[in-house]
Amino acid sequence: MAQTPNIQYEMPKAYEPGKVEQKWYQFWLEKGYFKPKIDPEKKPFVIIMPPPNVTGELHIGHALTATLEDILTRWHRMKGEPALWLPGVDHAGIAAQVVVEQLLEEEGLTRHQLGREKFIERMWQWANRCRQTIAGQHQRLGASCDWSRECFTLDEGPSRAVRTAFVRLYEKRLIYRGERIINWCPRCATALSDLEVDHKEITGHLYYVRYPLAEGNQFITVATTRPETILGDTAVAVNPNDERFKAKIGKKAILPAVNRVIPIVTDEAVDPGFGTGAVKITPAHDPVDFEVAQRQGLLLVNILNPDATMNENAGPYVGLDRFACRKAILADLEKDGLLVKVEPYSHSVGHCQRCQTTIEPIASKQWFITMPPLAKPAIDAVLDGRITIIPGRFTKVYLNWMENIRDWCISRQLWWGHRIPVWYCQECGELTVAVKDAKACSHCGSAKIEQDPDVLDTWFSSALWTHSTLGWPDDTEDLHYFYPTAVMETGYDILFFWVARMIMMGLEDTSAVPFHTVYLHGLVRDEKGEKMSKIKGNVLNPIDTLEKYGTDALRLALSMGTSPGNDIKLTTSRLEAGRNFANKLWNATRFIIRSLPPQEEFVSAWAAYKVSLDKLPVEDRWILSRLNRTISSVTSLMEDFQFGEAQRQIHDFLWGEFCDWYIELAKIRLRSTGEVLSPIPVLVYVLETSLRLLHPYMPFVTEELWQHLKQRLPSEWPATESIMVAAYPEAEDKVVDLQAERVIESVIEIIRSIRNARAQYQVESRRWVEAQIYSSQLSSAIIPYSQTIQTLARARPVTFPSSREEAPPQENTLVLVLKESEVIIPMESMVDLEAERKRLQEEIEQIQAEVARLETMLRDRAFLTKAPAVVVDRERDKLAIRKDKLGRLKQQLIRFQA
C-alpha cells in the first residue's frame, strides 16, 4: 500500500506545482481512489468520458472537458457516491487514417503501396502510441478517472457491441444497402455522412449553355455551376407551369460533347426563377436530380472515377481531372458557340471535414440506417424529461434536427475501423450478416464468401459508447450498476454527431436512456474571442500551459466564467489569476501553520472554541457564517452546473474575505497580550473546510496544503487519508449569523473607505488620520473594533460620537457616506492645509500663465495662417487640457479654504 508522501514540518516559501502534482497523482492512483466500489445501497454517479481521437495529442478543448468532468466526479465522490468516470479513446476512422496517410506520404508511400494488412499494422502502432500519450496527458491534468476500465473503440468488447448492434438493426430491417447520392471525398476516396461535410460559401460562376434540339434548329438553354457534369445529364427539366417552355416539353435535346439524346421533361421541383428556368438533370451527381430521376424513370450516368478523374462515360474527356475537364469542356462549348454567357455566382460548396477537398455528390451503393424509427423514442425521451439538455436552448435544436432526420450513410471506403460484418456469397449471391466472422454462406452453405471491404463510420461505435464500455451486449455487473449513466458532458458542436446518436442507439439496444443529463460546454477561444487554430497560430497547448502556470491554474482559468453552452476565453491574465490564487492560498496556509501553538495548547483552544458559538467574537461568527453561506450557495450552483460562478464564489470568499480580512483581524488577536480567545481554531477550521470546498477545482494545491495542515492537527480532528476522499462540506444553517455579517461588513467598509480617502489624498503611509464614526444602528457593535480600525486604517483617534451635536461641526472635513454609517475625516489630519494651499496656489498660477500664453498664440492670425493645421489642433488640445486641470485645481483649493 502507498505511503502518504512525506510532508515537511515547515512549508517551503513558495508553491512549486511541478514538485507537488506528480507526487499526489501517483498517491491517489496507488490508493485506488479512482476506482469506485460497487455498493448496491448507494446510487452511483457515472460519466463516460467523450473519447479523444487517436489523431495526436490533447488540445485545450480536451483540457476543458477533462476539467469540468473531473470537477463533477471529484465533487460527487466527496459526497460519498460511488463515482465512476470512465476514460477511453476513439479510433477516429477517417481522421486518424488521414494523419497516418500523411506520415506515409513523407516516406513517399501510399496506403495502397503498403497494402491493407501492413497499413492496419501501422495504424495500430500509431493508435497505441496516441493512446498512451492521451492517458499521460489526462493524468497531468489531474483527471480522476478509473484507468482500470479504460476503453478503446476497437477493443474486443466495443467491437463485439458494434457487430451486435449492426446485426440487430439489419435483422429489424433498419440497416439496408442501397444506391443513393452520397458525399464523396476524392482525396479520402470514401463516402461521408452529411455531418462530415463543411459547407463554404464560394464565389464561382454560373455558366449558361445551349443544348440543340434534336429536330429543327432551336435550342434550350440551361445554367450550371459545374459544366463538367453536362456529361452525366440524362434530361432537361422545366416546371410544368412555366409557359415559356410549353412548346419544347416532350421534345428531345442533344447533349453537347457526347451527343447523347436526352428528353425534356417537366417536374414540380424545378424552380422557374433559377437560371433560364430550364435545368439540366444529372441524377448520378446531384441529390435533387437523383430524386427527379427516380420520379421520372431517368437513367443514371456516373461520369467520375473514385479519385474524381473522368471515367469512360465522359467521352473525349476520359482520364482528365474534374477541374481540368471543366476547363476543356468550357473551351469546346465556346468554340461551338454553345456557351451563351457566364455570370459570377456565389454558392455553397461542400468540403471534406478532414482534408478540405471539394466534395462530389455521387450516386453510390452504400450501407444506410433508417433513422426516423430510431429518432422517435429519442425525441420522446427528451420531451418527457427522462433526459434533460443543459442549457435548455439546445433542446429545440435537438428536436428540430431529430424531427427532420435523414438516413445515415454508415459505410466508409476506408481501412481503419470496424469492418462491416457482411459477407457476400459468390454461389447464391445472398448476404450473410453475423456477429462472429462467417466461414460459410448462411443461405447455401458455400465457403465462397467474401467480407464487405468497407468499414463503418467511426460515429457508429461512438453511438454505442455509453453501454459498450460497460460490457454490453453482455449482461455485466457494470452494466447493471452503472447504466444509465448520470451526465454526458461534451461540447455543443457534437450534439448531432454524437449525443443524439447515443440517445437513439442507447434506447434501441438497452431500452433505457444512456444518461439523464446532457451538459453542453462551449468552445475555448483566445483573448480576442477567436477560435483557436493552428493556422491562426493562437493555439495554447495544455501541457505547455500547465508547465508554465501549474495544473490548478490552468483548471481554474478554464472553469473561470464558464457557464453551460457558452464559449470561454482563455487569456494569459486568467492563467496568471489562477497561479496567483494558488500562491495566495499557499501563503495563507503557511502563515496559519507557522502560527499554530504546541499541540496541547491547540487542543484546549479547540475545546474552548467548541463550547458555544455565541460566545465567540463577532468576527469569528462572521467568517463562519460567510463560510456556511458560501457552502450552500456553491452547492446549489454546482447542482445547476454553474461551475464558473461556484468557483468565483469560493475564490472571492477565500481571497476577499478569509485572506484579506479574517486573517488580518486574527493577526491583531494573535499579537495581543490580553485575555483574548485564540483565533487559531477558527483559522484552521475555515481553511480546512474551504480547501475541501475548493478541491474539485484545484485538486493538487488543495491536497498539498491540506496534508500540511492535517499533520499539525490534534488527533481528534476528523481526517481521512487524502482530501479527495474527505467529505464535501455541507452547510450548517445554525451557524449563519446575519447580525455578525452586518457588523463586520460595516467595519470592513469603514476601514476600506478610510484607506481609499488616504489614497485619494496621497496621505503619507506613516501619517495617522483622525476619524469620527457615526452609526445610529451599529455603533455599540462597532465600538469594540475601534482598535482594529486604528490598526488597519492607520486612523487615530477613532471616535464614536453618539450624535452629530456631541461633536462640534468642523470646517474642512471629508464626509464618507457608507451603507450603515458615516465617516468624517478632518482634512487637517490628512494633509498640512497651509502647505497644501500654497502648493495648489503655485500650481494654479503656473497653469494660468500657460493658458494665457496658449490663448495669445491661438488668437495670433499670423500663427493661424502659417502653421500647419495639425500643429494648430495640437495647441488647441493642449489649451483644453490645461483649462480642465485648472478648473479641478481651483475646486480643490476651495475645498481646503471652506
Count other Cβ atoms within 10 Å, centred on residue 611: 9
Residue 364 has what DSSP assignment? Answer: E
Pairing of strands 151-152, 88-89: parallel
Q: How far is the CB of 427 from Zn ion (least distance, A)?
A: 5
Residue whose CB is less far from Zn ion, 443 or 837: 443
Q: How far is the CB of 425 from Zn ion (least distance, A)?
A: 3
Residue whose CB is less far from Zn ion, 105 or 639: 105
Distances (CA, A) of 134 to 30, 129, 644: 20, 9, 26
Contact 719, 757 (CB under 8 A): no
Q: How far is the CB of 445 from Zn ion (least distance, A)?
A: 7
Residue whose CB is less far from Zn ion, 316 or 445: 445
Q: Which of 131, 121, 62, 147 is nearest to 92 (CA)?
A: 131
CA distance 553 to 816: 38
CA distance 495 to 500: 6
Q: Which of 432, 434, 462, 433 is nearest to 447 (CA)?
A: 432
Q: How far is the CB of 223 from Zn ion (least distance, A)?
A: 29
- Sequence-ordered list of residues with C-beta below 8 angstroms from that of 705, at least 6 positions apart, any chain: 585, 586, 589, 687, 691
Q: How far is the CB of 420 from Zn ion (least distance, A)?
A: 18
Terminal Cα distance for the chain, rounded: 78
Residue whose CB is less far from Zn ion, 26 or 102: 102
Q: Which of 351, 683, 378, 483 is nearest to 48 (CA)?
A: 483
- Give phi and psi for 358, each to the nearest 5: -65, 130
- Sequence-ordered list of residues with C-beta below 8 angstroms from that of 433, at least 6 positions apart, any chain: 166, 167, 170, 171, 421, 422, 423
Q: How far is the CB of 437 from Zn ion (least distance, A)?
A: 16
- Give phi and psi for 253, each to the nearest 5: -120, 160
* Cell numbers representing residue 742 in the block: 452586518
Residue whose CB is less far from Zn ion, 417 or 699: 417
Nearest 5°: CA angle at 822, between 819 and 825? 140
Element (H, E) at 806: none
In the complex, the residues that contact Zn ion under the rule CB under 5 A are 185, 187-188, 352, 354-355, 357, 425, 427-428, 430, 441, 443-444, 446
Q: How far is the CB of 248 from Zn ion (least distance, A)?
A: 41
CA distance 245 to 242: 6
- Collapsing DSSP to helix, strand or coil, 894 comes out as helix
Residue whose CB is less far from Zn ion, 430 or 820: 430
Residue whose CB is less far from Zn ion, 288 or 428: 428
Q: How far is the CB of 424 from Zn ion (least distance, A)?
A: 9
Cis status of the peptide bond prior to 5, with omega within 30 of 0: no
Residue whose CB is less far from Zn ion, 427 or 450: 427
CA distance 548 to 542: 10
Residue 232 has what DSSP assignment? Answer: G
- Collapsing DSSP to helix, strand or coil, 292 comes out as helix
Residue whose CB is less far from Zn ion, 36 or 417: 417
Residue whose CB is less far from Zn ion, 185 or 325: 185
For every residue of 630-672, which 3-state class applies, written as one string? HHHHHHHHHHCCCHHHHHHHHHHHHHHHHHHHHHHHHHHHHHC
* Cell numbers representing residue 371 in the block: 433513422
Helix axes 572-595, 551-559, angle to 10 degrees: 120
- Sequence-ordered list of residues with C-beta below 8 angstroms from that of 541, at least 6 positions apart, any chain: 57, 59, 60
Q: How far is the CB of 553 from Zn ion (least distance, A)?
A: 39
Residue whose CB is less far from Zn ion, 356 or 572: 356
Q: How far is the CB of 415 from Zn ion (least distance, A)?
A: 14
Residue whose CB is less far from Zn ion, 146 or 360: 360
Amino acid of residue 784: P
Residue whose CB is less far from Zn ion, 430 or 749: 430
Q: How far is the CB of 426 from Zn ion (least distance, A)?
A: 8
* Cell numbers representing residue 824 in the block: 468624517
CA distance 844 to 2: 74
Amino acid of residue 864: L
Residue whose CB is less far from Zn ion, 535 or 862: 535
Q: How far is the CB of 354 from Zn ion (least distance, A)?
A: 5
Task: Name residue 597's beta-bridge partners.
Answer: none
Q: How far is the CB of 190 from Zn ion (least distance, A)?
A: 8
Contact 146, 85 (CB under 8 A): yes
Residue whose CB is less far from Zn ion, 32 or 429: 429
Q: How far is the CB of 186 from Zn ion (least distance, A)?
A: 8
Q: How far is the CB of 351 from Zn ion (least distance, A)?
A: 8
Q: Is the dihedral of CA 345, 348, 354, 359 positive or negative?
A: negative
Q: How far is the CB of 193 from Zn ion (least distance, A)?
A: 13
Count other Cβ atoms within 10 Å, centred on residue 429: 10
Residue whose CB is less far from Zn ion, 34 or 184: 184
